């Protein structure tokens, strides 16, 4: 499916200004099977300070809009029309015929902008200790509830298959009964287990040159490694010679 090219739609967002603003639009082609959004208009190059409402206002002249989605970098978005076929055609037509959409950006007087907005954001991150505490508590509660739910789901899933869930945990062995299900946990210290495993691996390793063929193989491999290393060195030296400057003056 060849992607459509962007067409440029001219906007006049400052009344009376000789300068125009341009946004790129194209039909958003869907992947087959993605049926949530019927057919929509992809907008890129959204002007600065354009929000969802502004996009809605500008593009409503092509048809009724059911949904506007803005990317979080606020530079591109998607517009879903109620009657996609006609509206999109109209919009592309307007772009091709260079007609200008006039719509002025409303001035919100009370909202701080620029540096003042940054200061506000900085303050918002520090809402006061009590409020922050509340926010954190809420988040942690939600998180724990979520986790609980997930865990429960997992266990019930497994229990439904008729398994006994065994959990390895540090400390002494424990058997708990919950919701009519037996859980065995503990009994193996993970550190001890790991140590034993490492020891076993080491023992296996130390027997490497027991047989004659092993020694032979080892020697041969070493030789091969050396040769490989030698070739690598040669390559490296050739490369060095090309890239570096050895002029001592």
Partner 1 sequence: MPTEFDDDDVESEEETRISDEEAIPDGSVGTNTFLPKPSVSSVQDFLRSSDTSESSVLQMEVREVLRETRVEYGNEPGVDRFISKLTKDIQGMPEQQVHGKDAAGFISALGQDPEEVSLKFKPPSKVTVIGSYALHTVARPEVVVDVAVEIPEDCLFKKAHLNYRYHSRRALYLSTIAKHLGSLSPLYSSCQITSMQDDPTRPTLTIHLPSMSEKSSNIDIANEVPSTSNEVPSTSGRNTSDSLPSTLGHKKRLKGVNNRKKDVETKVEPKPYKPSDYLSPSGFTVKVIPVISPSTFVVSKLSPEHNSVRWVTQLSSSLGSSKQKPKKNGPTVGVEEEKEESNVLPTPQYNTKVLQDMLYLPHAAYLSSALSSFPNLSDGILLLKTWARQRALLGKVDAFDGHTLTMLMVHLAKQGKMSPVMSPLQMLRVALHALSDTVSGLPKGLGMARDEHNSSAISAACSAHPPSVSVFRHHFDVVFVDFTGWLNLTAGMTKSALAQVVSAAKQTLQILQSSVDVEAAFAASLLFRSSPATMFDYHWRIRVPVADLEPGEHSSPKCGNRPYLRDVESKVEDLVKRALSDRATLVRVMAAKLLSGQGRSCLEAGLPVLEGEEGGNLHGSSSVHTLTVTVMANVDATLALRLADVGPAADDTKASAAFRAFWGAKSELRRFQDGKISEAVVWDCAPVDRHKIPDRIVQYAAGAHLPPGSSVACCSGHLDRVLTQRPPGSGSYGSEPCLDPNTGISAFRMMEAAVDKLGKQLRSVEGAALKVLGVQPISTAARQTCPYFPLPHPLAGGAAAAGALSGRLPRCLEPVEVLVQLEASGRWPDDPQAFSKTKAALGLQLAGLIETGFGYKTVASEDSVDVLMDGFAFRLLLYSTRDEAMLVKEQALMASSITRNVWEAPSLHPIPSMQLSNNPLVRSWHHGLVSSATGVNPSLAPAIRVAKRWVGTQMLSNHIAEEAVELLVVAAAASLSTSLPPPGSMLTGFMRFLELLSHHPWSTRPMVVDPEHQLSPQERRQISKTFDALRVDKHQKMPALFLCTSKDLESKHWTATNPTPDALQQLQARAFRTLRLLRPLIETGPHHSAAPHTTIAQQKRVREEDDEEERSLWMSAFCLPSDSGAMDVILHLRVDSLPQACRALPVARVGSLTSDQMGGAFIRLNDGKPGFNAPKSMKRSRLESAYQPVDLLTDIDRSPNPPPDKRARVFLRAFPEKLAEGRGPNQLVPELLVGFDPVPMLVEALKERFDHLAAFCADYHGGTHVGIKWKPAAFLPSFVQATTAHTALPCTLSLSAESKKISCVPNLVQVLSDMLEIGEGIIIDITCVA
Residue 23 three-state SS: strand
Number of residues that bind partner 1 (CB under 8 A): 76
Is residue 214 within the footprint of partner 1 (CB under 8 A)? no
**How, if at all, do strands 21-28 and 7-12 pair?**
antiparallel
Is residue 5 within the footprint of partner 1 (CB under 8 A)? yes
Segments of the chain assigned E as strands: 7-12, 21-28, 40-44, 65-70, 76-81, 100-102, 165-167, 174-178, 181-185
Is residue 102 within the footprint of partner 1 (CB under 8 A)? no
- The token duo for 114 is 């620029």
Q: Which stretch binds partner 1 (CB under 8 A): 51-59, 130-138, 174-182, 190-198?
A: 130-138
Q: Least distance (Å) from partner 1 to the CB of residue 74?
A: 9
Q: Least distance (Å) from partner 1 to the CB of residue 31?
A: 13
Under a CB-based contact definition with an 8 Å cutoff, are residues 55 and 65 in contact?
Answer: no
Is residue 89 within the footprint of partner 1 (CB under 8 A)? no
Is residue 188 within the footprint of partner 1 (CB under 8 A)? no
Is residue 152 within the footprint of partner 1 (CB under 8 A)? no
Site string for partner 1, 10-49 (x = CB under 8 A): x---x--xxx-xxxx-----------------x-xxxxxx
CA–CA separation, 204 vs 63, rounded Å? 75
Is residue 189 within the footprint of partner 1 (CB under 8 A)? no
Residue 156 belongs to what H/E stretch?
helix 129-160
CA–CA separation, 10 vs 230, rounded Å? 65
Q: Which stretch binds partner 1 (CB under 8 A): 59-67, 80-88, 91-99, 182-190?
A: 91-99
Is residue 186 within the footprint of partner 1 (CB under 8 A)? no
Is residue 199 within the footprint of partner 1 (CB under 8 A)? no
Q: Which is nearer to partner 1, 120 or 157 (CB)?
A: 120
Sequence-separated (6 or more) residues with CB below 8 Å from residue 105? 13, 14, 49, 50, 54
């Amino acid at each position: 499916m060849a992607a459509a090219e962007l067409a440029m739609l001219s906007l006049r967002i400052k009344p009376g200004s000789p300068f125009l603003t341009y946004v790129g639009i194209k039909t958003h082609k869907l992947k087959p099977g993605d049926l949530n959004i019927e057919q929509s208009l992809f907008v890129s190059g959204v002007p600065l300070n354009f929000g969802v409402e502004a996009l809605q206002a500008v593009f409503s002249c092509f048809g009724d809009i059911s949904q506007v989605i803005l990317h979080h970098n606020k530079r591109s978005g998607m517009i879903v029309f109620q009657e996609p076929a006609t509206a999109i055609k109209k919009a592309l037509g307007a772009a091709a015929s260079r007609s200008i959409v006039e719509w002025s950006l409303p001035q919100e007087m009370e909202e701080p902008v620029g540096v003042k907005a940054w200061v506000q954001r900085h303050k918002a991150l520090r809402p006061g200790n009590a409020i922050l505490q509340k926010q954190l508590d809420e988040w942690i509660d939600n998180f724990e509830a979520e986790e609980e739910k997930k865990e429960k789901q997992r266990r019930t899933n497994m229990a439904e298959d008729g398994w006994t869930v065994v959990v390895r945990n540090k400390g002494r062995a424990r058997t708990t009964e919950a919701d009519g299900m037996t859980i065995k946990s503990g009994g193996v210290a993970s550190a001890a287990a790991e140590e034993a495993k490492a020891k076993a691996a080491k023992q296996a390793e130390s027997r490497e040159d027991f047989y004659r063929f092993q020694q032979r193989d080892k020697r041969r491999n070493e030789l091969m490694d050396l040769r490989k290393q030698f070739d690598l060195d040669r390559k490296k030296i050739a490369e060095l010679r090309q890239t570096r400057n050895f002029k001592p003056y």
